[in-house]
Amino acid sequence: MDTFGKMLRLTVFGESHGPAIGGVLDGLPSGIVIDMDAIGRQMTRRRASGGISTPRKEADIPEILSGVYNGRTTGTPLAFAIRNTNVRRKDYDALQDVPRPSHADYSGHVRYKGYEDRSGGGHFSGRLTAVLTAAGAIAEEMLKEKGIRIGTHIRRIGKIEDEPFKEDRLDEQLQILADKTFPVLSDYAGMQMQQRILEAASQMDSVGGIVETVIYGLDAGYGEPLFDSLESRLAHAVFSVPAVKGIEFGAGFALADMTGSEANDPFIVRDGKICTETNNSGGINGGISNGMPILFRTVLRPTPSIGIVQKSVHMDSLRDTALTIEGRHDPCIVHRACPVIDAMTALVIADTLLEAEGRDSFVPEP
């Protein structure tokens, strides 16, 4: 369903070319300052990026419909809507019977028995991530008050790698990433990546990549064993983002080649606090935070909308056909996914804190 979370619950609605997209964020403590500028910054990061992305030119400013009074949350559901102003349903009519490869056109058609609104991807459109971003920005502000920060950078596009997160430099690294629309730690790597994207664009093709996320400042002891392990909840959240096809925590898939003695993170005391010497576990043991930064990487597939002619079929007649997707399309959405993954991460962590510490612990003194 389109609701996520337990104490802090986000419900999402909308189709790309319908009247509006939006969300309802329920379970917020009252008195939280809603910083529309902070939301706007994340929305801007999601929307576009210097020359290499070509999103619709919609302002995407969420209108708050409820739950905010005098600039603070009331504690009742915070609903917001983003109008779709650039709606051109006819652009997509030609495609209706021919599913675009690796899009949800076919699977969605079977799921919804032909009643779906397929214009612009309908409810499957990447545009829906604007709703996640706005809701997550609110959760991020809540977490900052508790000293917790979240950041995501592009770890890799094609063969080009950014510097990794370094645990002793996270303060500085998160500062570097803040508000960047193409979030990399090394500007040189970033330039090469953008060149790779432009090259793909010139070939009417697209590229994918890997992003890396850190949760910094979360104490030990948050999470659950088994079904509500932090990994389970974070993975659930992150796979909600279209184009995500894999996630790994800490050393991740590299653990397959390691021995236990290599993979284990020895406990040590640093500055009077229990830490681990390495962080192959990505800050999570037994589903619960161990006080180290939580680290995970997510792979995003190349955008399936490409200009190159592709093979497809007519869904009704089952005839083979060739498909050319018209219009301009993003040659890469990896950088745009960063604020969305930040957002989903923030929603999970805020939810986890609400369970442990209760709603009232977030309410400021009047």
Q: Compare residues 140 and 248 and give the one whose CB is closer to its own copies.
A: 248
| Tokens standing for residue 66 | 């409820």
Give the relative orientation of helices 129-145 and 334-357 as an angle to the nearest 10 degrees.
Answer: 50
Minimum distance, C-beta of residue 41 to its own copies, in the bound complex (Å): 23
Minimum distance, C-beta of residue 172 to its own copies, in the bound complex (Å): 26
Cβ contacts of residue 31 below 8 Å, gap of 6+?
72, 73, 75, 362, 363, 364, 366
Rg (CA), the chain: 21
Q: Compare residues 153 and 156 and give the one whose CB is closer to its own copies.
A: 156
Minimum distance, C-beta of residue 217 to its own copies, in the bound complex (Å): 15
Measured CA to CA, the distance from residue 312 to residue 298 in angstroms comes to: 29
Cβ contacts of residue 109 below 8 Å, gap of 6+?
99, 116, 118, 315
Minimum distance, C-beta of residue 241 to its own copies, in the bound complex (Å): 9
Minimum distance, C-beta of residue 323 to its own copies, in the bound complex (Å): 9
Running DSSP on this structure, what letter comes out for residue 2? Answer: -
- Secondary structure element (H or E) that encloses residue 136, with its range: helix 129-145
Q: Compare residues 169 and 273 and give the one whose CB is closer to its own copies.
A: 273
Minimum distance, C-beta of residue 274 to its own copies, in the bound complex (Å): 6
Q: Compare residues 10 and 48 and give the one whose CB is closer to its own copies.
A: 10
Q: Compare residues 175 and 321 and give the one whose CB is closer to its own copies.
A: 321
Q: Compare residues 9 and 56 and give the one whose CB is closer to its own copies.
A: 9
CA 255 centroid distance within chain: 25
| Tokens standing for residue 227 | 């079904």
Cβ contacts of residue 201 below 8 Å, gap of 6+?
52, 331
Asked if 61 contacts 40 with a C-beta cutoff of 8 angstroms, the reply is: yes
Q: Compare residues 172 and 316 and give the one whose CB is closer to its own copies.
A: 316
Name residue, tokens 């983003």: 82
Cβ contacts of residue 259 below 8 Å, gap of 6+?
none
Minimum distance, C-beta of residue 129 to its own copies, in the bound complex (Å): 9
Running DSSP on this structure, what letter comes out for residue 347? Answer: H
Minimum distance, C-beta of residue 204 to its own copies, in the bound complex (Å): 9
Q: Compare residues 56 and 329 and give the one whose CB is closer to its own copies.
A: 329
Q: Compare residues 55 and 242 and give the one whose CB is closer to its own copies.
A: 242
Asked if 59 contacts 46 with a C-beta cutoff of 8 angstroms, the reply is: no
User: Within 10 A of 199 (CB to CB), how many other CB atoms are there?
Assistant: 13
How far is CA 295 from each of CA 77, 218, 230, 285, rounded to the nearest angstrom?
31, 12, 11, 12
Measured CA to CA, the distance from residue 239 to residue 107 in angstroms comes to: 17
Minimum distance, C-beta of residue 48 to its own copies, in the bound complex (Å): 20
